[in-house]
Amino acid sequence: MNYFMQGFWLFVGIVVGIIVNVTTQKYLSWRSEVQLVKNFKFEIKYNIKKIEIFESYVRRLRDLINGDNIKNFFYYFDLTKVIFNSANHMYYSGLLYRYLDDENVGKFLDTSSRFNQGWETLANNQVNDLKTKFITNNNYVKQEAIDLVDYWENFFSSHKKVLQDLLKLPKFKK
């Protein structure tokens, strides 16, 4: 009888241990997910503010072009300062798909792929090339300069709208 009781309590201990481990793991996983979502929302809000700064640079560039004074544009579009660390973690873990539908995932991935070193180099090289052309041949380059400003205004405003729309989703309003 003694062996039976020892075996029984050993079995009960194993079952209780499994229940405690599973419950603890579920809790830690849930807590990690909640923190990732909070970080994601923070990153989105931060990125919107960074994009608004870039939009102010573009407005300043337009003003200088209209005033034929582009040589005084000294801003740098540091697009790599836009952060997507939590979003990348959510994407690789599959958590992003739990919070966003396919359309929003596509829009978000498109937006996040545009803020990197390549696009930063492109933007700044275009502005520097434009400054050089504008200084040497003002009359023939003004329309090209305005077209470039229009492009970057549209670029930043469209990606800012994507991020703002994400924050309006019911799963992120909490």
Mean pLDDT of 19-44: 91
Q: CB of 130 within 8 A of CB of 141?
A: yes
Mean pLDDT of 135-140: 71
Question: Of 38, 174, 172, which is closest to residue 100 (Cα–Cα)?
Answer: 172
Tell which phi-psi region holds residue 42, choosing left (phi > 0), alpha (psi between -120 and 50) or beta: alpha
174: pLDDT strictly greater than 80: no
Q: What is the residue type of 137?
A: N
Mean pLDDT of 143-164: 93
Q: What are the phi and psi torsion angles at 75 (to 5°)? A: -85, 155
Instruction: Give the pLDDT of residue 38.
Output: 92
Q: What is the mean pLDDT of the chain?
A: 89
Those residues whose C-beta lies under 8 Å from the C-beta of residue 44, and which sit 6 or more positions away, are 163, 166, 167, 172
Which H, E and C letters describe 122-154, residue by residue? Answer: HHHHHHHHHHHHHHHCHHHHHHHHHHHHHHHHH
- Per-residue pLDDT tens over the stretch 74-91: 999 999 999 999 989 998
Q: CB of 124 within 8 A of CB of 76?
A: yes
Q: Which three-class secondary structure state does DSSP give residue 173?
A: coil
Q: Where are the domains of the chain?
A: 10-172
Q: CB of 83 within 8 A of CB of 119?
A: no
Those residues whose C-beta lies under 8 Å from the C-beta of residue 60, and which sit 6 or more positions away, are 73, 75
pTM for the structure as a whole: 0.84
Q: What percent of the chain has pLDDT over 90?
A: 55
Those residues whose C-beta lies under 8 Å from the C-beta of residue 84, and which sit 6 or more positions away, are 43, 47, 112, 115
The token pair at 10 is: 């050993």
Rounded Cα distance, 127 and 64, in Å: 12
